[in-house]
Amino acid sequence: MARSLEDAREELDKEFRQFREGLGRIHVALSDVERAEATDDVYALLETLEQTVHEVRTGGIVGSGAKGHRAARKDWLEAGGR
């Protein structure tokens, strides 16, 4: 848990930046699906999109994903954020 409101906010900002980077990966995967044509393997494109969303949400093998943001936000609120 963060020691102070300032520490908690720094951690929250760091986690949010990581989330935004992951969101960019989701946009790329979604664009691939949107650009698909009849001859493309839409099943594989959707599977890639699902995997990307899952990794951004859970953090995949390395990292904490949106779960890290959730925990950092909780710490910030408990430290007196708002």
| pLDDT tens digits, one per residue of 49-66 | 999 999 999 987 777 889
- pLDDT(30) > 70: yes
CA separation (Å) from 67 to 42, 57, 59?
Answer: 29, 7, 7
pLDDT given for residue 65 in this prediction: 85
Q: Determine the Cα–Cα distance for residues 27 and 55; give it in Å rounded to an integer.
A: 13
**Under 8 Å between Cβ of 26 and 20:** no
The pTM of the full predicted model, rounded to 2 decimals, is: 0.80
pLDDT given for residue 41 in this prediction: 98
Q: What is the dihedral of CA 44, 49, 53, 55, to 10 degrees?
A: 50
pLDDT band at 2 (very low <50, low <70, confident <90, very high): very low
Q: Determine the Cα–Cα distance for residues 1 and 32; give it in Å rounded to an integer.
A: 39
CA separation (Å) from 75 to 14, 27, 38, 78?
Answer: 13, 29, 48, 5
Greater pLDDT, 45 or 65: 45
